[in-house]
Chains A and B, each alone.
Chain A
Amino acid sequence: MTGRHPPVSARERTIYTTAAAARPSRRGLLRAAVAGAAATAATPLLAACGTAVGEPPGKVALHGDNPGWAAPLKAAGAAMRSVDGVRLVPEVIPSLESFEQVVKSSLRTSKTPDLLKYWSGYRLQDLARTGGIVELEEEWERAERKGWVDPSLRSAFTYRGRVHGLPMNLAYWVFYYNPAVFRDHGLTKPTTWDAFLKAADRLKRAGITPLHATTSGRWPSFIWFQEMLSRQDPQFYDALMNGRARYTDPRTERAMRTIASFADKGWFTSLDMDQATAAAAMVHGKVGMVPGATWLSTSFTGVGGKVGENVDTFVLPMQDPKAKPAMIFESSALVCTVKGPDHIEALRASGAWLHPKVAKAFSHTLQDGSPNPLVPPANAMIAGVAETVRHGKLRLLNRFWELGPPELVESTVDDLAGFLLDPSAYRKTLTTMQGRADEAWKVWKEADA
């Protein structure tokens, strides 16, 4: 050792010796390093593991990603027992991402869950393509014959012309506002586009941030894009989302410019304010209007909001009064897997899902809309929105998240987050999105051929 080092003093030698004694062995340290590397690779893999076990007779598990759905599913299960003798056991994986990866990685195995709360639209089609989920055409036909389901929802649950999922809820996308704050500033619920702009302007001058916009949680980045497109040109929204139009179209640019103008006027909240915080801020009069689905209403009531007093909703008016009125809807799909351990009972549960008694128990506990037109609205707010839809003959358009190949949606959500952060770069964003769309639609159509 000394031969490889410069000569050292006696004191320094003492130091070296002590240090060497305390030094861990090379092999031990290298082993620790390799273990660290292994842990790096293993952590996400462990997170990806998920299994399902069979339930005892008379019970069937339904897996979902939303903890807030546990109680409504239990209520639906209790009602289902009296209808068909099967009880639902909710199993929640409280993360959208973890839930999706568990579903996709287990679908080909016998460890897959029996029933799933999944998304409608292209996400459902993506799952149906795997051959891992059951066609529910018969169940749909029977429900439609009995008037238990709104027939206009069918396309959102169809793959290659056959139904592969049943609608669970029916959420409408609305704007929440605080009637008390509006009253204080001489405003009423906007029924025209100009009234909406005027309300935002007046709130801004009163020191209230007029509109909630956010990238928090990632997926909400698409909200303003879908709202603007559907209010400016619903036909174009439908075409764009289904790959029949281009992101570089002047109509998309117009929607982006409108959003950019709102940002320039300082109408948006900070982009890291999540929906729950925005709900509280609106109830306390700090934020004017919050776009969201009807399922968000529990966030408002949870922070002391009282429907009609300091929380109410309106459907964002059409910017182009000549366009056919439209609004965005969202509906989760009840899906039955091929390889689930309690397959027969899962099919029975699917058949009973849209029964008015079951649908009512579910939607009333969830406090959201029901796809079954025979179910009375869960509360006055839902009743008001449903009435607006029926009375105004609004065209229902599926949500951005469920439209287009999932890979494309996942990426464009990130692009839209970038746009919200730098609205002036909207042209670049649209070019990027079109590039992604070209590739994603090509892959999607090839796989579908």
Chain B
Amino acid sequence: MSSAVRAGAAATPVKPGRARLRIPTRTPHQAAAEAGSGRLGGRLAGVPWALPAVLFVGVLLVYPFFRSVYGSFFDDNGFTSHYVGLDNYTRLIDDPIFGRSLLNTVLWVAGTLLLPVLVGLAIAVATHRMRRGRIAQLVVVLPYAISGAATAVLWKFILTSDGTLNQVLRAVGLDSLARPWLLEWPASTISMIVASTWQATGLNVVLFAIGLRAIPRDTVEAAELDGATGWRMFRHITLPQLRSMSVVVVGMAVVNSLKAFDMVWILTQGGPARSSETLALTMYREAFLLFHVGYGSAIALVLSVIVVACSWLYLRRQMPGTSPR
């Protein structure tokens, strides 16, 4: 290969008066060293550097993952265990709580995609060139600085039967709309998605605002010269230009909604009667509270497969250069 490079270099005509390109070449000694004779500095040169990271990932991620997969084939109560094959997985199919949990998780994914992403985009676009738009953005971003747990506590005051929301509804004569938001399904799950939206929208506004600033000014000016304004500008210029940022925002929304936990745990603890549990919460309850470790591992595996599959499929689809031919 190196000789071909040298030959190519020799064959390249050089125009008079123009600086000659310096083409890197290797001596036969260097080429021999690359062939690898077991000496450090060859292909294995990077191994010692990568080893700590490989060990770290192996111990903290790969081993626990495969250990969980292995554990899901056992009926394990934390103290004794015996092999049950695929029983834990067949139990999942018959378990109505798992079914409800899966449905709630789907609701979380759909809700989180619809609400925080769309609201975040709308606020970012509306405030992009607005006077004092940054102040408006700051107000929306503030809830993101609050922890998920604190947000949940705050929303508990709002959503309980005697909470602020029902008090306001009754005060304005909308008594018929007042309800025990956290006690009825699906109102409980939807309420929690709204609470989560209140917090998560701020980050999306920031990301979309960054995306909007990255749009080249000449592109916008060209579109304006062509008469594009308002919705047409948004549809044909802004939205396509924000595509890369949308990929990140939507991807994060999907993963975060699939692992929804803290908000649900503090507001309802998955109740009443386990009606508002998500997959992450069902896994936690089964594995760590009821000590059905094997069954919990099976749920964890199902959740992991869903998270990775969704992320993988979504990202592959969003990468034009990597879509199937």
User: Is the CB of B83 closer than 8 A to any CB of chain A?
Assistant: no
Contacts of A44 in B (CB 8 A): 261, 280, 283-284, 287-288
User: Is the CB of B107 closer than 8 A to any CB of chain A?
Assistant: no
Number of interface residues of B (CB under 8 A): 63
Smallest CB–CB gap between B163 and chain A, Å? 8
Are the C-beta atoms of B211 and A410 separated by less than 8 Å?
no
Could you tell me the dominant secondary structure of chain A's interface residues?
A: helix
Contacts of A415 in B (CB 8 A): 273
Segment of B40-48, B116-124, B306-314 in the binding face: B306-314
User: Is the CB of B322 closer than 8 A to any CB of chain A?
Assistant: yes
For the complex, give the distance between the alpha carbons of A42 and B283 in Å. 12
Smallest CB–CB gap between B302 and chain A, Å? 11
Are the C-beta atoms of B321 and A1 separated by less than 8 Å?
yes
Are the C-beta atoms of B303 and A41 separated by less than 8 Å?
yes
For the complex, give the distance between the alpha carbons of A130 and B78 in Å. 10
* Mask of B22-33 contacts with A, CB within 8 angstroms, 1/0: 000000000000
User: Is the CB of B127 closer than 8 A to any CB of chain A?
Assistant: no
User: Is the CB of B240 closer than 8 A to any CB of chain A?
Assistant: yes
B79, B240, B255, B290: the one contacting A40 at CB < 8 Å is B255
- Chain B residue with the shortest CB-CB distance to A98: B288
* Mask of A116-154 contacts with B, CB within 8 angstroms, 1/0: 000000000000011000000000000000000000000
For the complex, give the distance between the alpha carbons of A37 and B252 in Å. 11
Query: For chain A, which range describes its interface: under 10, 10 to 19, 20 to 34, or 35 or more residues?
Result: 35 or more
Are the C-beta atoms of B311 and A34 separated by less than 8 Å?
yes
* Mask of A80-122 contacts with B, CB within 8 angstroms, 1/0: 0000000000000000010011001100100000000000000
Contacts of A215 in B (CB 8 A): 183, 271-273
User: Is the CB of A391 closer than 8 A to any CB of chain B?
Assistant: no
Contacts of A48 in B (CB 8 A): 288
- Chain B residue with the shortest CB-CB distance to A419: B273
* Mask of A205-247 contacts with B, CB within 8 angstroms, 1/0: 0000000000101100100000000000000000000000000
Smallest CB–CB gap between B42 and chain A, Å? 25
Question: Could you list some 12 contacts between A and B, CB below 8 A?
Answer: A15-B240, A24-B248, A42-B60, A44-B287, A217-B269, A218-B271, A270-B180, A272-B183, A273-B161, A277-B162, A414-B273, A421-B183
B residues near A, CB below 8 A? Answer: 60-61, 64-65, 68, 78-79, 160-162, 180, 182-184, 211, 214-216, 219, 222, 237, 240-241, 243-245, 247-248, 251-252, 255-256, 258-259, 261, 269, 271-275, 280, 283-284, 287-291, 300, 303-304, 307-308, 311-312, 315, 318-322, 325
A residues near B, CB below 8 A? Answer: 1, 4-5, 11, 14-15, 18-20, 22-24, 26, 29-30, 32-34, 36-45, 47-48, 97, 100-101, 104-105, 108, 129-130, 215, 217-218, 221, 270-273, 277, 407, 410, 414-415, 417-418, 420-421
Sort A-B residue pairs by CB-CB distance and give the 8 closest, nearest first.
A33-B311, A270-B161, A418-B273, A36-B255, A23-B244, A40-B259, A37-B307, A417-B272
